[in-house]
Amino acid sequence: MISESILKKYRATVVHLNKGKMLFQEGDPASFFYIVKSGRVKMSNYSEDGREFVQGYFSEGQSFGEPPFFSQVPYPASAVAVDESDVWKISHDEFMKLLKNNFEIQLELARILSDRLIYKSTIA
């Protein structure tokens, strides 16, 4: 979705996660925008009785955790590496600059998020 050169221009860094390592926990502040560079990340939370609810699996090129990031509220779910993974991480301020200066990325992100909303509204 976003080229490596653009990510680097806006000070994105890569976080390496071993399988099973948590990137963020439910309740953490949503201060960063994340894109999977390689591997696979699962977002999930747990009900009061301990049942896991998987929000989604994300792989190479996919972003995740956008709603709390844009709303600037804590994450409602945790993110953990399903496989050994590398994840791009970019701060809120830098990502807002990136979007401001790259309208085509804004449009692509809007399309991706819209597709996810449509999918969520059609599953039972």
Residue with structure tokens 């993110």? 79
- How many percent of the chain have pLDDT more than 90? 85
CB contact at 8 A, 110 and 28: no
pLDDT tier at 103, thresholds 50, 70, 90: very high
CA-based radius of gyration for the chain: 14
User: What does the pLDDT look like over 18-68, one tens digit per residue?
Assistant: 999 999 999 999 999 999 999 999 999 988 999 999 999 999 999 999 999
* Residue 50: CATH number of its domain: 2.60.120.10
> Based on the structure, what is the number of domains in the chain?
1
Residue-number span of the structural domain to which 92 is assigned: 4-122
- Give the pLDDT of residue 106: 93
Entry pTM:
0.90
Is the pLDDT at 9 greater than 60? The verdict is yes
How far, in Å, CA of 23 to CA of 14, rounded? 12
